[in-house]
Structure formats: C-alpha cells, structure tokens
Amino acid sequence: MKTVGYIRVSTSEQVDNGISLDNQRHKIEAFAELKDLDLIEVISDEGCSGKNLKREGISRIISLIEHKEADAVIVYKLDRISRKTKDLLYLFEDVFNKHKTNFYSLNENIDTTTAQGKFFLTLMGAMAQMERDLISERTADALTELKRQSRRLGNPDKAPFGFKQTKRKKAMLADLKPIQKELDVIRNIYRMRARKHSLASIGEKHGMAKSTIKYLLDNPIYRELGVISFS
C-alpha cells in the first residue's frame, strides 16, 4: 500500500508544545514500519497555520490521491491536517472516501482499516450529508417564501445553473426546482474560491471557462436561496 505521511508545525507550536517536524516524522516512519506500509514520502508544511487547507503539502496530498499515486495517509495528530471541522469533512468526504484512501491518525488511534476507524469516517460522512440536507431544506424554504412573494425570474427563458424550471411563461423564482448534482458543483466552486483558488484553477477542475466561474460566483441567487450559506 503506497502511503504518504503528512507533518505540519507552526513556529510557536514547535517551541511551546514539542511537536517538532522531526518528532512527527519519526513517529510516522515507525508506524509505517510496524504496519508494513510502503511509506513513499513524508510531506511537510513548516511554519504553516492549520486554520485552512491552503497549503502546498495538502495540495500535494490531494493530487497524489486523485492521481492514484497514494493509497493511504498518516498523520501524527488530526489537527495537523486542519483545526476546522468543515475542512476535515471536505477531506474525508470528497477526497479520502471518494478515492478509497485509508487514513491513520496516531494520536487519536484512527485506523480506517478497522471497524472503529471506518465508523469514524462514516460518521464524518454522515455529518457532511446532514449539512447538504440542511442546505436543501433551506433552499426549499426560500423557494416557498419566494412563491409567497410572487417574484419573477430575472431571465424567464433560462434557469440558473443548479435549477430547472417547471414552466416558462411568466416564470417565477418559485418555479425553480433544485438539481442536487449541479448544486453540489456550485457549493464546491464557492468552497474552492473561499480557499483562494484562482478562477482559472476552479474552471479547470470543473471543466468550465473562467468567465463562467466568475458569473456563477457573482450570481446573487445562490446566496438568496441559501445554497452557499455554509461559506
């Protein structure tokens, strides 16, 4: 099993908490040897905060997984990846689970090759699904309110990406019906933009032109309907 380790430390942590990069590396190497894992690389983010995922090391891990060059990831502690639950949810749901990547966190004793570890990831995935369901409920509630207000579509001949129209003539905003797969794309576009990805890189990821990405980001309907309220 091709495995990558990930280590991170900020300057203050290295001084105050004793979790140096070398310490993390040694523990990961020892664990990989114990489990007979093929540790192909230990990726390091030195002096980087865990407040978001905009780090070269995390980007490299995601790339290796997406290109099927890594089957497992080891970290010393869960917060080495991120201190934010929503970022962990994204990695577990959209990267690890999606690409069937095993995950180990030494400090929390998380091992997704075990029943307990699989349950942990299932729980994280359920939390992500609950967030999507809550957004869908908010979208439905917003459409109901718009129906009450009888508001017209800005362009009655074309529904915005993520929705379909139930009628054309004198179409109202309340005549829009969500298309869940497209709304998932919209949410991912806003998520990537919030993490400072360029319009070009977001477009490349989703097979869209840069101008299309900008149009979607500037369209107020997604905020109005609660589609991207998570951001």
| 3 state DSSP class of 26 | helix
- Exposure of 162 by Cβ count < 10 A (0-12 exposed, 13-18 middle, 19+ buried)? buried
Whether 20 and 9 have beta carbons less than 8 Å apart is answered as yes
Among 221, 222, 227, smallest CA distance to 135 is for 227
Domains delineated in the chain: 2-113 (3.40.50.1390), 132-224 (no CATH)
Q: Is pLDDT above 90 for 162?
A: no
* Pick from 3-7, 154-158, 210-214: least confident: 154-158
**pLDDT tier at 230 (50, 70, 90 boundaries)?**
very low
Catalytic residue among 10, 44, 49, 201: 10
Compute the average pLDDT of residues 157-174: 71
- Exposure of 144 by Cβ count < 10 A (0-12 exposed, 13-18 middle, 19+ buried)? exposed
pLDDT at residue number 93: 80
Is position 63 annotated as part of the catalytic site? Answer: no
pLDDT at residue number 95: 92
**pLDDT tier at 72 (50, 70, 90 boundaries)?**
very high
Q: Is pLDDT above 90 for 112?
A: no
pLDDT, mean over the chain: 81
* Pick from 32-46, 165-179, 214-228: least confident: 165-179
Contacts of 127 (CB under 8 A, 6+ apart): 85, 89
Q: How open is the CA angle 214-50-68, to the nearest 5 degrees? A: 70
